[in-house]
Amino acid sequence: AGVDPGMLEKADRSPVTIADFGSQALVCRSLAESFPDDPVVGEENAAALRQPGQSVFLDRVGQHLAGRGVVADGKTICDWIDRGGGASCDRFWTLDPIDGTKGFLRGGQYAVALALIVSGRVEVAVLGCPGLGVVDDGGLVFSAIRGAGTRVSPASEPGDSRPVSVSDCTDV
C-alpha cells in the first residue's frame, strides 16, 4: 500500500523510500562490478517495484539514480536491488541502504551501512552519513578495515581521508 508518492509501506508496516531502493541499487551495482562473486545480504527487494501498479514509483527510483549519473531501465534497477537477496556464507556483504528510514523521512540523521563479513567476522565496514560534516558535499564517510583503524572522509572527496580517534574530553 502506498503511504505517499515517495514511500511505500512494507508488510511489517515499516516504510521503504525511493532512497532505500536507489541506495541499494547503487551499492549492489558497485559491488557487482568490483566483487562479482560476493553475495550481498540487503534489506530491500524489488518485488513491490516489479508490480505493474508501481511503474511510477520505479520511474522515480530511476530518476533518483539518473540524478547521480546512473541511467538504467526498470528491469536493470530491479535486478541490482535484488542482488541484495543473497544468503550469508563464508564471505558476503551486508547492507542497510538507509539505516534510519524514519529519521530520513523527518529530515534527520540516517546512514548507509555496509560491511564485508568473512568467516563470521566484520573485516571491512563503511558508514555513509549524508547529514554529517558539509552536507552540501554529501556528508561524511567512515570506513574501517580490521587491523588498519578507522578513517573519515568527505563523501565528495573519498581520497581525502584522515584517521578517526576518540576524544579525550571527559567534561561534556
Asked about 101 being catalytic, the answer comes back as yes
Nearest to 115 by CA among 86, 97, 94: 94
| Global confidence as pTM | 0.85
Report pLDDT digits (tens) over 68-127.
Answer: 899 999 999 999 999 999 999 999 999 999 988 888 888 888 999 999 999 999 999 999
Confidence of residue 25 (pLDDT cuts 50, 70, 90): very high
The pairing of strands 91-99 and 111-118 is antiparallel
Catalytic residue among 82, 96, 99, 101: 101
Nearest to 144 by CA among 130, 161, 168, 160: 161
Asked about 20 being catalytic, the answer comes back as yes
Confidence of residue 1 (pLDDT cuts 50, 70, 90): very low
Stronger pLDDT, 95 or 4, i.e. the higher one: 95
The predicted pLDDT at position 105 comes to 83
CA angle 53, 55, 58 (to 5 degrees): 130
Looking at every residue in the chain, the average pLDDT score rounds to 88
Catalytic residue among 17, 20, 94, 99: 20
Report pLDDT digits (tens) over 51-73.
Answer: 888 888 899 999 999 998 999 99
Contact between residue 126 and residue 115 where contact means Cβ atoms under 8 Å apart: yes
